[in-house]
Chains A and B, each alone.
Chain A
C-alpha cells in the first residue's frame, strides 16, 4: 500500500473478499492496523492508525492520568445496553495493567471525548475498542519508559502492575507520579505493544457489567432519572399526522393552569413547560384539545406495501455484477420476499434534559451520536456549535435511530424559551410509536439457477428500500426543526455506501456464486418517516437469502446445512455453521412427519453481518399449531465468531437478545396506518413479544479467536433468527411464507390452501 489506491465501487466490491481475507491472514498486530473502516480505502502513504485513533490520534484524547494517579478513559461511543462500558474498561484495564475500579470511563460528550460519530453498525468494539486498546498499550509503554529513565534501568527490565511501574530492585513508580507536562499529548503510533492474549487476566473474561448493580437496585442510571436543581418538566404536542399545520391554538386557558410556566409555540411546534411532571402531562392534554390542525398527509395503502414500493421512483445502484454469459440454463427458481415498516419501540420513550445557561446550551440525551445531534441542534437554534454541548446519558435500548435526537431538539427549544432552568422533556408512548423514524418496509426479488450438480450457477437479486438513515447532521433531520415557523427542510436521503450499505446491507451473499448480479433500488420518496433500525437492511436481506437458500436446497434435494457448506469457502463461516448444527443435533433431527411431534419443524440460517463483522449461525426448532396458526420457537442454538472476545457473557447477551428481538419482528410486528395517520400508537395496537412466546431453551456458543480483530456482534443475530424461523415454519407446515411478519393469520391461510 505504497501509493493511494482509488478503487471504483465495482472493483472494490468485486475484490473486497480478497482484501478482507488478506487482512485476516496478517499477524495480529498488523491486522489491527490494516482494519478498514466503513470500507474506506487507505488514502495516505503512512500506515493508518488502528480503529478510531485515525480520527483522534492523540493518546490523551483516550487516556488521561492525573498527578494523583486517577486514570480516565474516554470514548466517543455510548452505552446503549450493549455492555461496551464494561468491555472498554476491561480492554483499558488489561492493557494498562490496572484493576477496573482504578478506572473512570467517560462516554460520548461533545465537550470531553473524541468524535466517533454514531454508536451504530456494531462498530464500537472495532473502532473505539481498538483505539482504546492501542492507546492504553502505548500509554503503558510511555510510562514504562519514563520510569525506566528515572530508575536508570533498561525499559525491558521494568514491569507494570497495579497502576505502577516496578523496577527490578522493587522501586515503584505510581502512574500518577510518572506523568508530567504533556507526555501523553502525543500522536499514537501505528503499532502497539499489545499484551499477549494468552496472558489476559481481564479481557476474554465474563466480568460482571459495571452498570447492572445500579440498575437492579434503583440507582440513577438513565437520562430519565436525572434531577437537576430547578429542573422543570416539558411536554410536546405533536401534530396528528405528517406535515400537519397548526391552524389555531388558544393557549390562554392552559397558560393559566396553576404550575404551568410557559406555552411555547413556534410555527407548528407546540410545547408546554410546568413545574411538575403530572401537571405538564395534563397541560399537554389540554393544549392538544385546544389545538386545531390542518392535515394533508396521504399515506399509501398499508395492504399493498410491496407493490407500492416497487412502483416508487428508484435510484438503481449496482451492488455486484459479475454475471457470466451462459451461466443460467439449469433449473430456475424465483421468489419475492417482503417486510413491513417496523418500530424501534424503545421501552422507555425518548427523553432529554436541556439547560440554557448564560448563552451556553447543554443537552443530556441518549442519542447515538452526540456530535451530529449537537451540530443539528446548533444549526436549528442558529447558535455557534461551540455554545452547544451534548452529553450522552443512557436511555432505554434504542435499536438505532429512535426519537432520542428529536427529544433532544425538543428539550433545546423549550430550554431556549426558559433560560436558566433545566427543562426535561419526556415523550409519551403514543408519540414515540407514531413519530419515531421506522425501519423501512422492503421488497426483495431473487432468482437463481442450479447446475446439474445441484450447485448455484447463477444468482440475480434485487432489493427495494427507502433510506436506512435519516440521522442528523442536517437540522432538517430533526422533527422539531421541520415544524418551526422558519422550518428546516428534511435533507434529501442519500444511500449509505457499501460495503456497509443501507437497504443493501448483506445483499451480497457470502456464498460462492459463479455468476451473480445484485441491484439495490434505492427509493428516495419516503411516504413514512424512516431511518436506521438495528442492522438496517441486513435482517431482511438475510431473511430473503437464507429462505431462498433453503428453497434451492429443497430443489436440489440437499440438506440445508450441507447445501450451505457446499457453497462456502470461508473457514470461519464453515466453523460457525458446523458448530451450530452439531450443538443443535441437526443431523439427528427427525425428518419425516411421523417421527416427530405434529407441528414441529426445524430451520437453519447463517450470515456474516455486513460480510465484514461477526459470523452467526442459528438452528431452531419451531412448533406450529395448525388450528390457530400460532408459531412458537421452542429451542434455538447459535454459534458466533466475533474475533477476539472481550467479555464472553457480554457477547452472548446481545446475541440472545438479537435472536428474540428478531423473532418478535418476524412473528408479530408491523406498523399500521390508515389514509392519513399512523394507527399503531401503543402496545395494544402494536403487539410484540411477551413471555408466552419465549422459547424453552436457547444456547449461544462462542468461538473465540485470540488476537484477531474485534468483529462487531451487536447486530449479528437478527438476520439468521428471522430466516431460521421462516425455514423452520416452512419445514413444519410444508408451506413457504415470504411476507413478514409470519403472522398466525398468514400461517393459517397458507395451511388452508
Chain B
C-alpha cells in the first residue's frame, strides 16, 4: 500500500496489520520513533498523523491510506533543525534520550495548533509520554523555548 511519510509517498509491501512503528523503522529506516512498549502506554513511538500525535506502535498501517505521517526526521535535520529540535539541543533536554523523539513529536503537535500553549496545557499534552530518567524539567523548558520561537515565527518576526 502507499504511505505518505515526511512528504514522500512510499510503496510499502507489508501486512496491513503491521503497526506503523515497524514500517517506519524497518522499511523506511527511520530511527526517531522508538519501541518502548508496543502498547500505547509510553509514547516513545509518537509521530504525527495529519497533525495529530498518535502512538505509531498501535496504529496499523491499514489506517493510514491518504494520511500524512510526519516523524521527527520530517521536521528537520542536524544541519537544518526545526525550532523544537533547536530548543531541545539548547536546553540539553536529554539524558539517555530514548523518550525524547516521542516527547518532541507530542510537543510539536501541540505547538503546531497552539504555539501560545500555557504551562498547564504543555504538561497535560505530554501526559501520555513517559521519561524514566527524570528529564522532565528540561523537557518542559525546551518546549517552552520552542513555543517562543514558533510564536515569533507566527508573528512574522525574523528568526
Interface residues of A (CB under 8 A from B): 80-83, 206, 208-209, 211-222, 224-225, 227, 276-278, 281, 345-349, 394-397, 399, 426, 428-429, 649-650, 653-654, 656-661, 663-664, 682-684, 688-692, 694-695, 698
- CB-CB under 8 A from A277, the residues of chain B are 22, 25-26
Assign chain B's interface to a size class: 35 or more
Expressed in whole angstroms, the Cα–Cα distance for A218 and B17 within the complex equals 25
Contact of B97 among A211, A227, A691 (CB under 8 A): A211
Task: Tell me whether chain A's interface is mostly helix, strand or loop, or mixed.
Answer: loop
- Residue on A with the closest CB to B77? A217
- CB-CB under 8 A from B101, the residues of chain A are 215-216, 218
- Residue on B with the closest CB to A212? B94
Contact of A396 among B18, B19, B81, B98 (CB under 8 A): B98
Contact of B134 among A217, A658, A683 (CB under 8 A): A658
Contact of B95 among A208, A217, A653 (CB under 8 A): A653
- CB-CB under 8 A from B97, the residues of chain A are 81, 211-212, 215-216, 221
- Residue of A219, A345, A347 ringed by the most chain B CB atoms within 10 A: A347
Bits for B36-56, please: 1 = Cβ < 8 Å to A, else 0.
Answer: 111101101000000000000
Q: What 10 A-B pairs are tightest by C-beta distance, nearest first?
A: A81-B96, A660-B134, A396-B98, A657-B134, A397-B96, A215-B97, A218-B32, A218-B73, A429-B37, A683-B41
Having A206-B92, A218-B32, one finds 15 other A-B pairs with CB under 8 Å, namely A82-B95, A219-B31, A224-B34, A348-B35, A348-B98, A396-B98, A397-B96, A653-B92, A656-B134, A660-B134, A661-B133, A683-B42, A688-B130, A689-B131, A691-B126
- CB-CB under 8 A from A276, the residues of chain B are 14, 22, 26
- CB-CB under 8 A from B140, the residues of chain A are 691, 694
- CB-CB under 8 A from B96, the residues of chain A are 80-81, 347, 394-397
Q: Are B26 and A219 in contact (CB under 8 A)?
A: no
Q: Are B39 and A219 in contact (CB under 8 A)?
A: no
Q: Are B130 and A212 in contact (CB under 8 A)?
A: no
Q: Are A347 and B132 in contact (CB under 8 A)?
A: yes
CB of B89 within 8 A of chain A?
Answer: yes
- Residue on B with the closest CB to A219? B31
- CB-CB under 8 A from A428, the residues of chain B are 38
- CB-CB under 8 A from A216, the residues of chain B are 72, 81, 85, 88-89, 94, 97, 100-101, 104
Expressed in whole angstroms, the Cα–Cα distance for A130 and B114 within the complex equals 48
- CB-CB under 8 A from B149, the residues of chain A are none
Instruction: Kindly provide the distance from the CB of B95 to the nearest chain A CB, expressed in whole angstroms.
Output: 4
CB of B78 within 8 A of chain A?
Answer: yes
Q: Are B39 and A429 in contact (CB under 8 A)?
A: yes
Q: A219-B31, A347-B36, A657-B95 are in contact. Are A214 and B78 (CB under 8 A)?
A: yes
Q: Are A694 and B32 in contact (CB under 8 A)?
A: no
- Residue of B19, B34, B98 ringed by the most chain A CB atoms within 10 A: B98
Instruction: Kindly provide the distance from the CB of A347 to the nearest chain B CB, expressed in whole angstroms.
Output: 5
Q: Are B132 and A426 in contact (CB under 8 A)?
A: no
Instruction: Kindly provide the distance from the CB of B3 to the nearest chain A CB, expressed in whole angstroms.
Output: 15
Q: Are B131 and A347 in contact (CB under 8 A)?
A: yes
